[in-house]
Structure 1
């Protein structure tokens, strides 16, 4: 059990200094042709969940969820920064992911690949207009392999970085297949992430959101934020083992 303490003070996000998109423009999840505001939970920067997770900024979005960088205000040790993943209401993927995470947490193993699998720190539900939104809390991680490739010269990942990625990936998959009996169903560069040895990039992310608040769009009674990119850490080749995001089914 991780130790907790009285909450740290919450940061108050800026109330001005940001650009608001005109109604004619679509932003992030609203670009989906099937988008409905009632499906996505209206997370707001600065919002506090479970009296401990304060939202600092938006990390990304997908067809069934949005991802946010948060700070754990009560944790004494460990990762102060966490990632909050909020699913659209009533989607089965959330339930499936949580079941797999809990299954993996019960496995006692010395397999080196187990350390390359992203763990689940916490989970909870938020009420929405169309039902409950499942929420997962993970340790905050760095860039994906796709991010690094896109930022690299010529759009190619250097061999010196790709080799350790491949090594950790194969070890992680071996653990999933041979011991956990779990099949990963979406192995691609966007689901392979760097672990971070220090939280400088998260502190930078947090401060940049305070200094230059994210572009946003007002959509009725909610705000849609633009995602903010993480920086490539200076020690990227040695930034620590990768972590493998999962979209998995039990076998």
Structure 2
């Protein structure tokens, strides 16, 4: 189990974190774990390789307790709502030659919202975990503080 020096072994129990090792695969082999990116009270986050899209992604594996699952599902709903509302405007048609652009699609802040790519559930020794897949971002604030 690759839990890092900041996680306690007793957190890897039913309702807790999913034990992950480098090379583990998720979602029918689509995502392969490369290394740990971070952790929090709610989840661990891993750099993974997406074999379907041939790119690296951030794989967030949520603790399996019902309260964390519920929160994760709410997060997914919110992220899906952002995706749905940011759908590009419809193409012009003869009956509507100048359709209005989607407000979310044209919003200048849209590029500052993380790109949510996928989600699935993973059954492990500590029960079922909600997993979310995001674009990989840069260094986190703690990493910057430690660096400087």
The normalised TM-score by structure 2 is 0.74
Match of 2:131 among 125, 128, 135: 135
Root-mean-square deviation (CA, aligned residues, Å) is 2.2
SS in 1 for 2:106: coil
- C-alpha distance in 2 between matches for 1:130 and 1:72: 24
The runs of at least 4 consecutive aligned structure 1 residues that moved more than 4 Å come to: none
Cα deviations across residues 132-183 of structure 1 (Å, max 9, x unaligned)? 200000111110233223312xxxxxxxxxxxxxxxxxxxxxxxxxxxxxxx
Name the structure where helix makes up a greater proportion of residues.
1
Query: Bigger shift: 37-46 or 52-61?
Result: 37-46
Aligned residues: 123
- C-alpha distance in 2 between matches for 1:130 and 1:48: 17
Cα deviations across residues 10-65 of structure 1 (Å, max 9, x unaligned)? xxxxxxxxxxxxxxxx932217xx73523211111101112211100111111120
Change in 2 beyond 3 A, CA 1:70/1:36: closer
Name the structure where strand makes up a greater proportion of residues.
2
Structure 2 alignment gaps of length 5 or more = 87-104
Query: Higher relative contact order at CA 8 Å, sep ≥6: structure 1 or structure 2?
Result: 1
2:112 matched residue in structure 1: 116
Structure 1 alignment gaps of length 5 or more = 1-25, 153-251
Match of 1:70 among 44, 48, 51: 48
> Does the 8 A contact of 1:29 with 1:63 survive in 2?
no
1:82 matched residue in structure 2: 57
1:38-187 equivalence runs, <5 A: 38=14, 39-50=16-27, 51-75=29-53, 80-89=55-64, 90=66, 91=68, 92-108=70-86, 109-129=105-125, 131-152=127-148
